[in-house]
Structure 1
């Protein structure tokens, strides 16, 4: 199957769903609790991080230009205690208002080999929030998977944006085709690793009779696949075969 192609409404709908889940989790946990999936971070660190990302995106995306931003906000003096959650909520609400009012075709810088349009950031913020919602729930030992269609699009984002932008966690040269299968989303991806580079093959042009010379296969739920790529869980949660060392070349985070 071809990769999921989202829309502004799809991504903002996900952001609207994931934000309250994030807040509920961080409100339940003591703010000095460790976040197991983010070593050395506490819950308040997670709140500060996600809120700061929202601030930066708000200041950058609405400029209507494709030039990279030159100044990043001074995030010193961020509130602690319960005020941190109030601050996060304010930034989340402001981000939603901004993205909801933007034409997704409006010019906007991004760091990926993608069209320089505002729609990139609706997608990026949906996935940023979903993964950190999962992190926050890890802190209270009550995690829910990422919704299957959203997770499938998140896998595509890793493969069409993060990795081509050189944001690979283990940038060792690797060669061969990796086949990823999201068993609950009717989605699959073929990734050709070429040294330090990679190419996401277009499954719309791949025939069943094609010999892809696949060297590794990983199959599981879309959520588990996504969380593996984000280095949140180990590949052992998936059904894997072949040269599984190639999977490390797909990790981000």
Structure 2
């Protein structure tokens, strides 16, 4: 995906999140993020935006403590708007050096734009579930992520985020997982073993110990541990090292 599309996605997903958050109200629970309220969700994403801005401002990584969001709801929404606008402006040039905690990502603003596009999309989904008051996969039928964007989100998680987060260290079983996004025409084969980073191959058949199959939208939601209509077959333990943080 082009850099400009990631920036557009940040704007669009954040605006949609804000709309859903306002409609749900600050104290509404977020079913997809246990113990979170809508106010905490908005504050969390705003804090992430402030952290990314500082990571670009100081590529050494010394000044990446996020700002503290206001407690008042109206002030929080205004602050969130400011953080979003500043973030998009900061990420305008994809070649700008930046600090990132993800070792497999190039240390540039372009990498942050991709990461933040998907961060905003997944948390927009959280806000929609909060508005619906349900964690059921059918609770927000009007929201379907574009297949190209969703497939990019699957790839970003598998190739960039998970190898760095270290969640794979929690794995206890060995096997092969296939992720198949039918409408995007993409398949990922991931080999999992205890104490080893996942080994990825693009492509492959559906003969695996575990398979996640469905639309790109459904698989995207499933790997990020959100309600999904993706079909999972095989040994579910193999999915633990591959779940989004």
- Same fold, judged at TM 0.5 (above): yes
Aligned to 2:219: 225
Aligned to 1:3: none
Q: Unaligned regions of 5+ residues in structure 2, if any?
A: 133-138
State the TM-score, normalized to the length of structure 1: 0.85
Aligned to 1:15: 10
| Conserved? CA contact 1:167–1:252, under 8 Å | no
Task: Quote the Cα distance in structure 2 between the aligned partners of 1:32 and 1:169.
Answer: 34
Task: Quote the Cα distance in structure 2 between the aligned partners of 1:222 and 1:229.
Answer: 11
Number of residues paired by the alignment? 235
State the TM-score, normalized to the length of structure 2: 0.87
Cα displacement (A) at 1:240: 2.6
* Alignment pair present for 1:107 and 2:100: no
Task: Quote the Cα distance in structure 2 between the aligned partners of 1:58 and 1:122.
Answer: 11
Query: What's the CA shift string for 1:62-120, capped at 9, x where partnerless?
Result: 33x3x323451451x624222211111111111111112x2x22322211122222211
* Alignment pair present for 1:199 and 2:199: yes
Give the 3-state SS of the residue equivalent to 1:181 in structure 2. strand
| Conserved? CA contact 1:179–1:217, under 8 Å | yes
Kindly report which structure 2 residues correspond to 1:75-224, keeping only aligned pairs within 5 A, or say none.
Answer: 75=68, 78-100=70-92, 102=93, 104-112=94-102, 113-141=104-132, 143=140, 144-168=143-167, 171-196=170-195, 197-203=197-203, 214-224=208-218
Residue of 3, 21, 24 corresponding to 1:29: 24
User: Which structure shows the higher helix fraction?
Assistant: 2
Give the 3-state SS of the residue equivalent to 1:163 in structure 2. helix
Cα displacement (A) at 1:225: 1.2
Task: Quote the Cα distance in structure 2 between the aligned partners of 1:78 and 1:136.
Answer: 19
Task: Quote the Cα distance in structure 2 between the aligned partners of 1:223 and 1:158.
Answer: 14
Q: Which runs of 4+ in 1 moved over 4 A?
A: none
Cα displacement (A) at 1:158: 0.9
| Conserved? CA contact 1:12–1:126, under 8 Å | yes
Task: Quote the Cα distance in structure 1 between the aligned partners of 2:122 and 2:29.
Answer: 16
| Conserved? CA contact 2:50–2:67, under 8 Å | no
Aligned-pair RMSD on alpha carbons? 2.1
